[in-house]
Amino acid sequence: MTRPMVLALAALKPADMAQKLHDTYDVVTDIAAASQAQIVLTSGAVGLSPAQMDQLPALRLIAVSGVGVDAIDLPAAVARGIRVTTTPGVLSLAVAEMALGLALAAGRRIAEGDRFVRAGDWASGRKLALGRSVLAGRAGILGYGRIGRQLADLLRGLGMPVAYTARSEKNDSPDTYHPDAVTLAQHSDVLFVTAAGGAETRGLVNADVLAALGPDSILVNVARGPVVDSAALAAALQAGHIAGAGLDVFDDEPNVPQALLDAPNCVLTPHVGSATDEARRAMSALVLDNIAAFVAGGPLPSPYGE
Ligand code: NAP
């Protein structure tokens, strides 16, 4: 019996989960060899463009390993009768702890201190500049969905007062709501960006938000690069308008603007918010469940936007 074909534009991790995919499906990685494929496996960052959809006339399912759908043209998918699944929730803890780690790394100069020790500066008698306590400050969360709320739970548990903004106020939240990003920044010492990417949130963190945050504050972005105006951020860091930043996501990955590479107290990680063994294993299991359900003609476990 022929096995269903899956065009894999992203790899399932860890290796034993990738093996399960290969054990069950005819996995191809070259789009030119996938004109018969009904299923595409991709990641939130890689997505699938309309031009790629045009190359895949049989496509009926885009299985995303991740939750961001900003790299997928959803109207184009709907128009073609293509369904989309994501892996919501199972990665939230990993991304939330990455956000906390970036805040601590920037506030306590952990990455800078590591470079300082390795460069021999400590042994030479130099002193690292003072850091800034994260947990003594007020947390602001921009985007209060699954990841934002998971992060809020962690920060509240660590004793931080938490405020947030989102498109709407959440009646079931113990945290303080502010109606917009500037007002939230005015009431935050550490601003965490966890909003969905896409046209609606592009440039949401701009020079006005950074000015409202103030010179003792830290910005963390684990959402999508374009949610933060990177030129305004680099300028704010250079001018000391904010104290530091921790960034996991960028406009044009894997390229990072020189202005951010040069910016003082800016901690950079290569889009690894969900990159733990635990999270990736759970994401891969959900991807496999969605593909299996599609092939069986049953209800999809985690359809997007239906
Ligand atoms: P989610 O549950 O859909 O939450 C998205 C949040 O963004 C919601 O609270 C939503 O507000 C808010 N939002 C959307 N538009 C907004 C706007 N214009 N202004 C303010 N808030 C707005 O998604 P999630 O699972 O938490 O994931 C959030 C994002 O994290 C993903 O979309 C993805 O881009 C990113 N992510 C990054 C990594 C990484 O490796 N760094 C990994 C996974 C995900 P409402 O609640 O009012 O609708």
Q: Determine if residue 305 is left, alpha or beta; phi over 0 gives left, psi from -120 to 50 gives alpha, anything else beta.
A: left
Same domain, 27 and 128: no
Cis peptide upstream of residue 254 (ω within 30 degrees of 0): yes
CB distance 107 to ligand 1 below 6 Å: no
Return the pLDDT at 1. 74
Per-position pLDDT tens, the chain of length 306? 789 999 999 999 999 999 999 999 999 999 999 999 999 999 999 999 999 999 999 999 999 999 999 999 999 999 999 999 999 999 999 999 999 999 999 999 999 999 999 999 999 999 999 999 999 999 999 999 999 999 999 999 999 999 999 999 999 999 999 999 999 999 999 999 999 999 999 999 999 999 999 999 999 999 999 999 999 999 999 999 999 999 999 999 999 999 999 998 999 999 999 999 999 999 999 999 999 999 999 999 999 999
Question: Is position 22 within any domain?
Answer: yes
Return the pLDDT at 31. 97
* Amino acid sitting at position 122: W
Q: Token pair of 279, please?
A: 């999270």
Which residues are marked as active site?
A: 224, 253, 271
Same domain, 234 and 292: no
- Report CA(5)–ligand 1 centroid distance (Å): 31
**Pocket-testing residue among 98, 144, 164, 193, ligand 1, by greatest number of atoms within 8 A of Cβ:** 144
Using DSSP, state whether 94 is helix, strand or coil.
helix
β-strand partners of 63: 41, 85
Query: What pLDDT, in 10s, does the model give residues 60-99?
Result: 999 999 999 999 999 999 999 999 999 999 999 999 999 9
Q: What is the CATH number of the domain that holds 146?
A: 3.40.50.720
Same domain, 65 and 97: no
Return the pLDDT at 189. 98
Domain extent at residue 34: 5-88+276-296
